[in-house]
Structure 1
Amino acid sequence: MKIIIADDDAMVYESLQLLLSREKDIQVIGTANDGAQAIKLCEASLPDVILMDIQMPGMDGIQATREIKKRWPQILVMMLTTFEDEQNIRLAFLAGAEGYLLKATQVQDMAQQLRALVSGSSVLHADVLRQLTQPKKNGLEDLTAREKDILQLVAQGCSNKEIASQLFISEGTVRNTLSIILDKLEVRDRTQLALYYWRRV
């Protein structure tokens, strides 16, 4: 099994490279410290699996996963991260990842999970599975009627100008209200906001 490790922490990828290389059936053929490098390595060497961190400078792991699965759908992506929130988990799988492990996973267990992934199984760390099966409360009930209207239009792909026109308010009011919505729902941007909406309605 040929794998690439993508992580911006040199200590992490060097340790993993050393430890996983001790497994007879695993060959670490490259390391990358951001998503763009991971894509270049895929183009050069076509690995079987990528161990992909989420938060990296430049192109993050979710963006890189989306691009890799579009260009090389046969390459398997195992997210390896400290993030176990529902949002990142769902975004990773929407991008095409087949597995999601936490960095706290023992290397021996990680090797077993990589083998399971290659054999055709989806892989989820127990804590990640618990997060998905016991999601947080909806959160939409905390929004005002106007905030819900704006959220719905964002989810439909409307721009701030289009939202302002439809609701007869200024673009500045739309921007300010969006900031409040993002804060209330604890999401980072419009894309995540739309995803949040559609998986709850």
Structure 2
Amino acid sequence: MKILIVDDDVLVCKSLKVLLSRENDMEVIGTATNGAEAINVCRTEMPNIVLMDIQMPVMDGIQATRQIKKEWPQVHVMMLTTFKDEKNIRLAIQAGAEGYLIKSTKVSSMAQKLRTLVSGSSVLDADVLKQLTHPTERKELEQLTPREKDIAELVAQGLSNREIAEQLYISEGTVRNTLSVILEKLQLRDRTQLAIYYLKKV
């Protein structure tokens, strides 16, 4: 089984390559740091499976999956990402991905799921399947503490972490940590999404 690993984190590529290469029936024939590189490797090496991240520079995993499945429909694509929101899951499946795993998946389990994929079965992480069958409602701003609401409001106003820290008399580290909590609670990716979401809700 020939595997291509695609991730813009070089350390992730190296780690997965070492771990998956220990499997007797698996050979990592290359790595790529974006979708465009992945397509080039497919042209020269023709893997059986592409382990594909979603968010990458130049060309993301969704675009790359769509192109790979168009040119080489026999190549299996397994998404391997930190994203488990309904939108990305559906986009990946619509692009042609037959599998969707979260990066926290143990390598031993991942190897077995790759075998399942090659055998012709679709593979979805348990959390991913739950998200598709029971999509969660986005939590409203009422879920935030007063301090979290203050920080969300200041982010929406365009203030930097340093400016927020100065205005609220707290450290930049506290602002960063609180911002991470806010993004997790509201299921948002970054401060830009937070600003847009906040302005729509207030």
Query: Residue 176 of structure 1 aligns with which residue?
Result: none
Q: Residue 10 of structure 1 corresponds to which residue in structure 2?
A: 10
Give the equivalent residue in structure 1 for 2:152: none
Q: Residue 17 of structure 2 aligns to which amino acid in structure 1?
A: Q
- Which structure 1 segments of 5+ residues have no match? 139-182, 185-201
Counterpart of 2:182 in structure 1 is none
Partner of 1:26: 26
Pairing 1:123–2:118 present: no
What do the CA deviations read for 1:18-47 (whole angstroms, capped 9, x no partner)? 000000000000000000000000000110
Establish whether residue 46 from structure 1 lines up as the match of residue 46 from structure 2: yes
Secondary structure of the structure 2 residue equivalent to 1:104? coil
- Indicate the residue corresponding to 1:180 in structure 2: none
Q: Which residue of 2 aligns with 1:80?
A: 80
Would you say 1:59 and 2:62 are equivalent positions?
Answer: no
Q: Distance in 1 between matches of 2:61 and 2:93?
A: 12
TM-superposed deviation, 1:137:
4.5
**Aligned equivalents of 1:88, 1:24: Cα separation in 2:** 32
Work out the CA distance in 2 between the residues paired with 1:11 and 1:42.
Answer: 21
- The answer as to 2:71 corresponding to 1:71 is yes
Tell me the equivalent position of 1:102: 102
CA displacement at 1:135 relative to structure 2: 1.2
> How much does 1:109 deviate?
0.2
- Corresponding residue for 1:136? 136
| C-alpha distance after superposition, 1:27-86 (max 9, x if no partner) | 000000000000000000110000000000110000000000000000000000000000
Letter in 2 for 1:58: V
Amino acid corresponding to residue 18 of structure 2 in structure 1: L
Runs of 4+ in 1 over 2 A off after TM superposition: none
Q: Distance between the aligned counterparts of 2:80 and 2:35, measured in 1?
A: 13
Partner amino acid, structure 2, of 1:51: L
Task: Write the distance in 2 (CA, Å) between the matches of 1:81 and 1:134.
Answer: 20
Distance in 2 separating the partners of 1:121 and 1:8: 27
Question: Residues 85-139 of structure 1, C-alpha deviation per residue, up to 9 Å, x if partnerless?
Answer: 000000000000000000000000000000000001100000101100101349x
Match of 2:91 in 1: 91
Aligned-CA RMSD value: 1.8
One-letter identity of the residue aligned with 1:24 = N
SS of corresponding position for 1:8: coil
> Separation in 2 of the partners of 1:73 and 1:124?
19
Determine helix, strand or coil for the equivalent of 1:56: coil
* Partners of 1:84 and 1:137 in 2: CA distance: 14
Determine helix, strand or coil for the equivalent of 2:50: strand
Residue 58 of structure 2 aligns with an amino acid whose one-letter code is G
Asked if 1:114 corresponds to 2:120, the answer is: no
